Amino acid sequence: MAVRNRLVMSPMETMYGTPDGLPSARTRDYFVARARGGVGLITVGATGIDDKHPETPSGLHLGTDAAVPAHRALVDAVHEHGAKIQPQIVHAGPDGLGPELHNVTSLGPSVIPSYLTGRPSAEATSGQIAEIIDRFKAAARRAVQAGYDGIELHAAHGYMFLGSFLAPQRNRRTDDYRGDSAKGRIRVVLETLAAIRSEVGGGFPVTLRISGYERVAGGRPIYETAELAPQLAAAGVDAFHVSGGVIDRLVTGMVNAADDGDALNGGAAAAVKQVVDVPVIAVGRIHDPDLAERIIADGRADFVAMGRPMLADESLPNKLRSGQPHRIRKCISCENCIDAMEQRFSVDCAVNPRTGKERELEPTRAAHAKHVVVVGGGPAGLEAARVASGRGHRVT
């Protein structure tokens, strides 16, 4: 896959999909705005391998052949603006909403409580594991049919199906997928990669998102991730997207808050890059463009992923390319977007009212220009002045 720059849009759940889990017009508008804004590669967050185990309400899926046309429409719309796009394919495992929404049993490596709901999962049998791997294989095939440029496998943050098997603190099995050995924990990921490669061949790009280290008692340390990475690359991983922590974000920094510091996972990305010959993507509060440049220049990573900054300003890449970094609307790490999702609302942004409302709030020129006087220079007044000026009015 050739991309136009080294900036990746991180996978983020939005809940913009249709009630049956397909990309909607709102989904397309949201991603098209980011493609038009200049990002190199877009990753569509948490796209289920079936339609019964979503992570969130309205979560997208590639679980049926009937889903392919809606995904193809999304891909075509993004490609019109020069960006590449891939879905992050997942099985929500112990942490999905399948029991609540579809009356199915959630499955994990062991009987463990969901990080998201507290409800315990069932321990997946070897037969159920094989069935889920087959669904990953089928979802990868559908991604190819939809025209996606690659896929990303989610095996990070100690949750969902693959990530839970990789997490020592959640995998308590004693069989071939046993949790007390790295060989057992990685087995399901290797089998999933083998199944996908048997379906799509070696030329279709597969990225793996993985936590460099999990930052919890008993969690996987960075040295173990670095030991596993060459095996994963040999099994068919074309790029590593190195995140960190587990889903309990307030404790482990999976989502980095304003006081967590910058580039929290940069060291982990560098550790993986030292042991593999495939591209490495760094992620985790890399909001400063100069910092992103340094991470790439000093060899810690080959690409930088930004999530929340792309919510705050969809045109961030174009503003950097045109030498206007001062015009970037900056993410303030307030976590409003995360809070909305946790409350089961669709994602929005505290500093960018257009996020998720790109069509409704598309700036248009007024038919008749007016002289607009704005009294007051607070946030509301400044925004009113900005919008009025953008519509062609003379603002005082």
Question: pLDDT class for 28, splitting at 50, 70, 90?
Answer: very high
As a whole number of angstroms, the distance between CA 73 and CA 67 comes to 11
Per-residue pLDDT tens for 260-302? 778 889 999 999 999 999 999 999 999 999 999 999 999 999 9
- Helices marked H in 300-354: 308-312, 316-321, 336-342
In this prediction, residue 343 carries a pLDDT of 74
- Are 31 and 46 spatial neighbours (Cβ–Cβ below 8 Å)? no
> 48 and 153 in contact (C-beta within 8 Å)?
no
136-155 pLDDT, tens digit per residue, is 999 999 999 999 999 999 99
- Counting beta carbons within 10 angstroms of the beta carbon of residue 148, is it exposed (0 to 12), middle (13 to 18) or buried (19 or more)? buried
Question: Which pLDDT value is given to residue 338?
Answer: 82
What is the model's pLDDT at position 339? 81
Phi, psi of 388, rounded to the nearest 5 degrees: -60, -45
DSSP 167-190: -TTT----STT-TTSHHHHHHHHH
N-term to C-term CA, the chain: 49
Can you give the pTM of this predicted structure? 0.94
For residues 88 and 102, give the distance between their C-alpha atoms in angstroms, rounded to a whole number: 22
Nearest CA to 22 out of 88, 75, 68, 91 is that of 68
* Confidence grade of residue 163 (pLDDT, cut at 50, 70, 90): very high
Please choose, from the candidates 45, 52, 9, the residue with its C-alpha nearest in 3D space to the C-alpha of residue 27: 45
Token readout for 93 is 């495992």
pLDDT tens digit string along 65-124?
Answer: 999 999 999 999 999 999 999 999 999 999 999 999 999 999 999 999 987 788 999 999
- What's the Cα-to-Cα distance from 317 to each of 88, 249, 282, 349, 362, rounded to whole Å? 22, 27, 17, 18, 19
Every domain range in the chain assigned CATH 3.20.20.70: 7-362
Token pair of 95 as six digits: 């942490």
Q: What's 7-362's CATH class?
A: alpha beta
pLDDT at 94: 94
Given a cut of 60, whether residue 252 has pLDDT beyond it is no
Q: Is 329 exposed, middle or buried (0-12, 13-18, 19+ CB in 10 A)?
A: middle
- Which of the residues are catalytic? 159
Tell me what pLDDT residue 362 has.
87
Helix (H, G, I), strand (E, B) or coil at 380: helix
